[in-house]
Amino acid sequence: KAGVTQTPRYLIKTRGQQVTLSCSPISGHRSVSWYQQTPGQGLQFLFEYFSETQRNKGNFPGRFSGRQFSNSRSEMNVSTLELGDSALYLCASSAGLAGGWADTQYFGPGTRLTVL
């Protein structure tokens, strides 16, 4: 099976712009989670989507949003980019078993976003 893919792998934007990142989960997986990784704050949970519905949300401002499509592919959007949004954005997919409470999450390689 192909792993989790994320596009693009690298992205450079300027302050004030918006950006959309894409994640294709492992075939058959129904849950997609997004994480932000920075040197200062570490790995932080953004949100999780399961069957096109947001199931969990982290403590990020409303500029960060996401969605999931019927084929389980997910996108996250960041509007009005700030310098502090520079980070590695990781997507993880899991099968989405009953309740999803014990899923193993498989991570993609990430999208490196640089905001200038």
Amino acid at 18: Q
Cβ-based nearer residue to other proteins, 12 or 43: 43
β pairing state of 87-94 and 106-107: antiparallel
Examine residue 90 and tell whether it contacts other proteins (CB under 8 A): yes
67 is a contact residue toward other proteins (CB under 8 A) = no
CA distances from 27 to 37, 52, 62, 101 (A): 25, 15, 30, 20
Of 43, 61, 69, 84, which one interacts with other proteins (CB under 8 A)? 43
Residue ranges binding other proteins (CB under 8 A): 4, 31, 33, 35, 42-45, 48, 50, 55-56, 58, 90, 92, 94, 99-110
